[in-house]
């Protein structure tokens, strides 16, 4: 996004250019969430264990074969208040037959994504609130939040504006119904 010297850059342009030029240390993630650059360290083992438990069940039990990425950058509409959100979900799932990740740019649009997963980490409020708003604005149909501090799992569905119209929160140990295209009961007892 090179600009001519006489072009007037907006604050949003400067923020986006600065974000895209970041060189984060290996293993760290940089995201642009609601106009703020957020850098997070590599996740701990329990965080990754939660992701593995979900992916394993999706592979074994989902009615639709799914592609999974644990590091795919998504470029999401911000609603115009700031530059587009650039978010890296802990997990991104899309129907295999779409081959959504093949040939995708580092920051791809979210059309075709079936579900994003977040596991609370060093910035739990961002995982609980800001990222939820980003995913809703992007129109991602399902968002799964594993809240390790609250020992609960929440499925958000039916995005409208900057939030989801439906949510179901259950304590770890209860089964959570994942709707189409997954159509199975996600077992959460292993999160305990």
User: pLDDT tens for residues 51-86?
Assistant: 999 999 999 999 999 999 999 999 998 888 789 999
Is the Cβ–Cβ distance between 169 and 141 less than 8 Å? Answer: no
pTM: 0.92
User: pLDDT tens for residues 135-171?
Assistant: 999 999 999 999 999 999 999 999 999 999 999 999 9
Domain 43-71+88-191 has CATH 3.90.1570.10: yes
Give Cα 105 distance to the centre of its chain.
16
Q: Would you say residue 1 has pLDDT above 80?
A: no
Domain boundaries in the chain? 43-71+88-191
CA–CA separation, 145 and 49 (whole Å): 14
């Amino acid at each position: 996004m090179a600009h001519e010297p006489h072009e007037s850059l907006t604050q949003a342009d400067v923020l986006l250019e600065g974000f895209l030029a970041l060189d984060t240390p290996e293993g760290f993630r940089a995201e642009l969430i609601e106009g703020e650059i957020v850098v997070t360290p590599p996740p701990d083992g329990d965080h990754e264990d939660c992701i593995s438990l979900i992916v394993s069940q999706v592979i074994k039990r989902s009615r639709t074969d799914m592609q999974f990425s644990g590091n795919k950058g998504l470029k999401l509409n911000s609603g115009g208040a700031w530059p587009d959100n650039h978010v890296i979900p802990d997990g991104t799932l899309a129907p295999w037959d779409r081959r959504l990740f093949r040939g995708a740019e580092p920051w791809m649009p979210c059309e075709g994504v079936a579900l994003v997963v977040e596991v609370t980490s060093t910035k739990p409020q961002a995982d609980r609130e800001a990222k939820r708003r980003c995913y809703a604005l992007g129109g991602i149909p399902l968002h799964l939040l594993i809240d390790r501090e609250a020992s609960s799992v929440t499925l958000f569905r039916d995005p409208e504006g900057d939030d989801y119209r439906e949510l179901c929160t259950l304590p770890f140990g209860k089964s959570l119904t994942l709707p189409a295209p997954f159509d199975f009961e996600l077992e959460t007892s292993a999160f305990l």
